[in-house]
Structure 1
């Protein structure tokens, strides 16, 4: 049942409890208007996911696992060219970056975003270079396809890339 409509509804149901709790707290823990709080929480959850929908729909080739998610993964051929590309990205960044951790086999970078920053992790294994990107906080929320756009740019810049969707990982 890999349907984008089902994913849309599941995202609404995932966000709903957080919004309901927030409205419950803002109302002073008063269950007098609980029906109103449920309706407002559902409408707010729907609005958040619906607002995100159009940014993800721009990508016709987006997989079910990547749709309305902020966690994405990419597998590249383990070559010096691809590894040097990531080191070059750190030396001459296009975005505001902060190096969190750097070793010979791993690179972890914080990418500054408008609202919630993202973490890009690049790991060098025997067979491949694995690139993961996710939001630093609230990774269950969609991110207007910012992380998907970033990982697609990295895939286009690499020489021989093979995309693997592992949003659920």
Structure 2
């Protein structure tokens, strides 16, 4: 029984690695998860530079997050809608290319909306800022596990530094989802 199991595992590894060799240089991914005291969703388009084992790529993504800042007796809701452009380096973690770690960084720009644009909170306090255009750099990491030749599960975490934010300079997004190679 042990020998049969070992042979099946070896045979599966050969089949899986054969399926992972795809000629696609384009991929999209959709993730959902935690964003600084709230939730966020992200959609990305990846343009791969080659079909080699070390396949680096450009990534264009859009992130929407809805969060709250909690103070003594009230919650201040805010939303971020950002576009990110970055470059990621690919590091295969096994010889069959089933598991990859990607790390990269780039620029982020978008809109920060505080309290749905209203100047007054529910408790009567006034807000000095309305939010507005934000920008800055970001860094990120992704863990990718292929489940077929064209689909992989991803877990990603990005840290954004918004230079001119009224809410806070650093925000994080961490989530999971699917990447589909076109």
TM-score above 0.5, yes or no: no
TM-score range (shorter-chain normalised) is: under 0.3
**Is the strand fraction higher in 1 or 2?**
2
User: TM-score, normalised on structure 2?
Assistant: 0.25
Q: Which has the higher helix share?
A: 1
Normalised TM-score (structure 1): 0.26
